[in-house]
Amino acid sequence: MDELKRLDEVEQISDQEDVSGQSDDASKARPIELRHRSTKPREYWHADTIPLGKTWNHMKDALVIVDDLTRMSFVYPIKDKSQYSGAAALEEHFLQQRPTSTGIKGINIFINHTVLRSGRGTEFINSSVHDLCERLGCNVEYLCPGQLGKYQNGLVERRIKEIGQIARCGKEMSSVLDLASSYCVLHAVDILNALPSKANPTDDTTDVTGFSP
């Protein structure tokens, strides 16, 4: 009897292991869901800068800003990574995202209590950007220093990679000079924003993406 009880216990344990193994396999087979830090558009922004090289319009870098919820991307060419160029590009971005009725002194209700997540470069950590965000009511978050920061900024890094691929394809197909790289990047962003995705699905009635830049 004792041996039978031990055998029953062994079978129960093996059954539980099989069930747990099946559940683990089922969990692994589930599709990966998009992780959002926001509940509505224009609430959480990811920002980073990319080099453009030598261009016709003398813009050496570009500020890339991605909306967390819709994954819509915005690119603003800047002359350099100085604090004034970065603050001017951020102010231009926030003013473009204001509603039609801005209220007193043009206060943007989408900026108030919004979050800007960026790297730890001097183009973001400076007095000009800090004063701008404080004036507009935007909270600033910075990435961890070192290698870990690259993984924390993976969303905008992925967008930058996609923008670069589309821009290079457009430059090669149109046979333009390298001096036109900034224009190729701007066209690539427009193409990327027009393509439907899980985060930005297509509207069946208008056949365009749901979030308008």
Please, are residues 64 and 83 in contact by the beta-carbon 8 Å criterion?
A: no
> pLDDT by residue (tens digit) across 113-123?
788 999 888 89
Domain assignment present for residue 202? The answer is no
Domain assignment present for residue 23? The answer is no
Question: How far, in Å, CA of 88 to CA of 34, rounded?
Answer: 31
Range of the domain at 169: 44-194
> pLDDT by residue (tens digit) across 68-104?
888 889 999 999 999 899 999 998 888 776 544 444 4
Number of domains in the chain: 1
Domain assignment present for residue 29? The answer is no
Domain assignment present for residue 37? The answer is no
Cα–Cα separations (whole angstroms), residue 98 to 40, 61, 134, 189? 14, 25, 17, 20
Amino acid at the residue 89: A
pTM above 0.85, yes or no: no
Domain assignment present for residue 201? The answer is no
Question: How far, in Å, CA of 44 to CA of 113, rounded?
Answer: 9
Q: Which of 28-37, 69-78, 192-201 is the most confident on average?
A: 69-78
Tell me the CATH number at 130.
Answer: 3.30.420.10
Domain assignment present for residue 19? The answer is no
Domain assignment present for residue 67? The answer is yes
Domain assignment present for residue 38? The answer is no
